[in-house]
């Protein structure tokens, strides 16, 4: 028997950062994101020899362990171990024996929510195997708790819900970890045009998002006026983006992205740098009407809105920076699981 799952990565189109505590707890957050045709994959093969094998195919890491109730969190595939520990604690109450293999279509630090999406995919595979009674909200919240609470990894809440639900969603974040996912019904022609005009460019660099998020958190706790204003403007941006996409006013997308990017840079040191600034300015000079870095910032993917027939010119202008433009499509489906 083979159990498989896949969950889509996401583009955070607007409101990024407002899903991160303490801002979401104090003021409420709002984000608009969209899943794309890049995935985190997980495969489970049950065993009966009292062993656990953990494989990360993209990281080229593999560990063979004894099947016990609690695996040590020691810096080696801790996401995999943390999920297993929680599944045993909450559901099976006894050790399991299996081989778990994972792969993500984008590198770590890319800004597409890779780690959280991988958590969702792995939980989904366990839920499929063990027939666990989980709805979409249950699974998303469990993924959030494992990553942010059990493993203490800095970050927000949007990625887990995006990967589970899929599609284009306007998400609202409230106190006590309450989240509401509002799926947007968008005309197909508008979605096709958005995908055509929105180019996804990988800088061939990565960043440690936790450092930027930790600085962002400190700024909010210290009531840094510059960072607080930026957060409120990004929350406002999410509403602006929702209205523009629903109304099909796509020419406003670039302007709204640029509005958010100017404020996002004020959240914390390291969101941007000289290379990112130069890439952004080059794209704008060659026909992009706006853009932003994906995720917390500092590296990874940047996306730009290129209206009219400017797409090719913008891509050509970015070639000198040594990065790559990634082809993708928007997806309407979230987590998928199946058994062979």
Q: Which sign does the torsion angle of CA 202, 206, 211, 215 carry?
A: negative
Mean pLDDT of the 210-219 span: 76
Q: Which of 159, 177, 192, 258 is catalytic?
A: 159
Tokens of residue 223, six digits = 């009531």
CATH 3.30.70.890 domain position(s) in the chain: 188-326
Q: What is the structure's pLDDT at 165?
A: 98
Q: Which residue intervals of the chain bear CATH 3.30.230.10?
A: 3-185
φ, ψ of residue 54 in degrees (nearest 5): -115, 125
E-strand ranges in 57-177 read 61-66, 98-104, 168-173
Whether residue 206 has pLDDT greater than 70: no
Single pTM value for the model: 0.93
Superfamily of domain 188-326: GHMP kinase, C-terminal domain (3.30.70.890)
Residue count of the chain, please give it.
340
177 is an active site residue: no
List residues bridging with 173 in a β-sheet: 29, 179
Give the tokens for residue 13: 């189109």
CATH number of 3-185: 3.30.230.10
Whether the Cβ atoms of residue 174 and residue 24 lie closer than 8 Å to each other:
yes
pLDDT in tens, 96-150: 999 999 999 998 878 899 999 999 999 999 999 999 999 999 999 999 999 999 9
pLDDT over threshold 70, residue 207: no
Tokens of 243: 């209205």
Cis peptide before 97 (omega within 30 of 0): no
List the structure tokens of 202: 């990988």
102 in Cβ contact with 121 (< 8 Å): yes
**What's the average model confidence in pLDDT over 7-21?**
93
**pLDDT tens-digit readout, 239-294:** 999 999 999 999 999 999 999 999 988 887 778 888 899 999 999 999 999 999 88
């Amino acid at each position: 028997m083979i159990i498989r799952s896949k969950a889509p990565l996401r583009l955070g189109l607007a409101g990024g950062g407002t899903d991160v505590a303490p801002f979401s707890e104090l003021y409420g957050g709002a984000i608009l994101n969209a899943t794309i045709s890049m995935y985190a994959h997980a495969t489970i093969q049950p065993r009966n020899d009292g062993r656990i094998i953990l494989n990360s195919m993209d990281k080229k890491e593999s560990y063979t362990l004894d099947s016990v109730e609690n695996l040590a969190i020691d810096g080696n595939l801790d996401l995999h171990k943390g999920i297993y520990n929680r599944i045993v604690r909450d559901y099976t109450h006894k050790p399991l024996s299996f081989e778990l293999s994972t792969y993500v279509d984008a590198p770590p630090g890319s800004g597409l929510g890779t780690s959280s999406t991988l958590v969702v995919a792995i939980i989904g595979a366990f839920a499929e195997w063990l027939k666990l009674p989980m709805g979409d909200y249950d699974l998303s919240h469990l993924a959030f708790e494992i990553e942010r609470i059990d493993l203490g990894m800095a970050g927000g809440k949007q990625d887990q819900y995006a990967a589970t639900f899929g599609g284009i969603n306007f998400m609202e974040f409230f106190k006590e970890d309450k989240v509401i996912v509002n799926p947007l019904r968008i005309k197909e022609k508008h979605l096709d045009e958005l995908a055509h005009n929105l180019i996804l460019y990988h800088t061939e660099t990565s960043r440690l998002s936790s450092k930027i998020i930790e600085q962002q958190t400190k700024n909010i706790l210290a009531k840094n006026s510059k960072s607080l204003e930026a957060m409120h403007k990004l929350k406002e941006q999410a509403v602006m983006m929702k209205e523009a996409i629903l109304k099909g006013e796509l020419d406003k997308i670039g302007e709204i992205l640029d509005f958010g990017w100017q404020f996002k840079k004020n959240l914390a040191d390291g969101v941007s740098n000289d290379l990112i600034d130069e890439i952004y300015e080059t794209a704008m000079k060659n026909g992009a009407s706006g853009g932003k870095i994906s995720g917390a910032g500092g590296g990874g993917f940047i996306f730009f809105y290129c209206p009219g027939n400017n797409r090719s010119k913008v891509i050509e202008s970015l070639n000198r920076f040594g990065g790559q433009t990634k082809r993708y499509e928007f997806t309407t489906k979230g987590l998928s699981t199946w058994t062979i």
